[in-house]
Amino acid sequence: MISDERLLQMLRDADALNALEHGRTPAPAVRRTRLIPFAIAAAVLIAGAGLALFGSRDRSSPGSPVEIAAVAPRPESPDPAAAPTSSLLLAVYQNGAGKLSCVNWSTDVLKGRAITSLSANELTRLGLTLACDPEAARILVVGLEGPAGSLPSSDARAQAVAQCLSTTPPCAEGVFNPRTCAAAGCLDTEVKVRIESLALR
């Protein structure tokens, strides 16, 4: 009989090989009954956040209608002037239709590590710690690195980047990482970006 530890190790091996060869594929869709209360709560959040953000957006999604999503409340918002950041992590949650449902971000979870030093799984795990929408169908974990002024430093900018990432189609097949390639249009040119995608439903 295979022990739990052995099974988990082989699962991690299997995932590493899948990520290496094919990237991740969506899990089968599943609907849960508690979706309805969350949908109502999300609608309220969306409406509230929309009213709050509509006037304060400092960057809109290129070529797409303004869409509004919730930004997860965070206990403290880093002050870019007081503490310039060189990297941050965006957790972009999307619903089943691929629309942005919620954004959370942090400069702390990377603990100063370069995004290139993280494995794909590490990046995804860190993104999952930035909880936001329990009913989301997919999470895009976006690692950003660059001059402090070029990185999102407010909820509104994080929201705008997330919105852009959610609405920009991936680059054509054949590009090494179509999502990362597509993200270039959403960010300043000096920003390095890494994106991992994981189906949650």
Partner 1 sequence: MKRRLTELTADPHAGEDLSQRTWLAVWEAVRDGRYDPQRAAMTTYVYAVSQNVFRNWARSRATSASHAPAIAAERATGAAPRVDPIEEAEVIDELRRALRDGAPGLTAGQLQALQLLSLGLTDRELARALAVAPSTAHARKREALDALRDHIERRFFTERPASVRKEQAEQP
- Using CB under 8 A, which of 11, 51, 52, 175 touches partner 1? 11
Tell me, by CB under 8 A, how many residues bind partner 1: 39
Taking contact as CB under 8 A, which single stretch among the options 23-31, 144-152, 160-168, 172-180 is the one that binds partner 1?
23-31
User: Does residue 124 belong to the site contacting partner 1 (CB under 8 A)?
Assistant: yes
Residue count of the chain: 201
Among 17, 40, 44, 52, binds partner 1 (CB under 8 A): 17
Count Cβ neighbours within 10 Å for each residue of 3-41 and write b for 16 or more, e otherwise: eeeeeeeeeeeeeeeeeeeeeeeeeeeeeeeeeeeeeee
User: 171-175 — which CB contacts under 8 Å span 24+ positions?
Assistant: none
The rounded distance, in Å, linking the Cα atoms of 142 and 118 is 12
Q: Is 33 in the site for partner 1 (CB under 8 A)?
A: no
101 close to 42: Cβ distance less than 8 angstroms: yes
Q: Which of 80, 134, 170, 178 binds partner 1 (CB under 8 A)?
A: 134
Q: Are 188 and 194 in contact (CB under 8 A)?
A: no
* Structure tokens that stand for 104 in this block: 């959370």
Stretch that binds partner 1, among 21-29, 56-64, 71-79, 82-90 (CB under 8 A): 21-29
**CA dist., res. 154 & res. 93, Å (int):** 18
Other CB atoms closer than 10 Å to residue 147's CB: what's the count?
12
Q: Does 117 bind partner 1 (CB under 8 A)?
A: no
From the list 58-66, 104-112, 124-132, 177-185, the region that binds partner 1 by CB under 8 A is 124-132
When the beta carbons of 101 and 167 are compared against partner 1, the nearer one is: 101
Q: Which stretch binds partner 1 (CB under 8 A): 25-33, 44-52, 66-74, 105-113?
A: 25-33
How many degrees, rounded to 5, is the angle at CA 90 between CA 80 and CA 115? 85
CB of 57 or CB of 125, closer to partner 1: 125
Q: Counting contacts by CB under 8 A, is residue 111 touching partner 1?
A: no
Residue of 86, 113, 121, 181 that binds partner 1 (CB under 8 A): 121
User: Footprint of partner 1 on this chain (CB under 8 A)?
Assistant: 1-18, 20-22, 24-25, 27-30, 121, 124-125, 128-129, 131, 134-135, 198-201
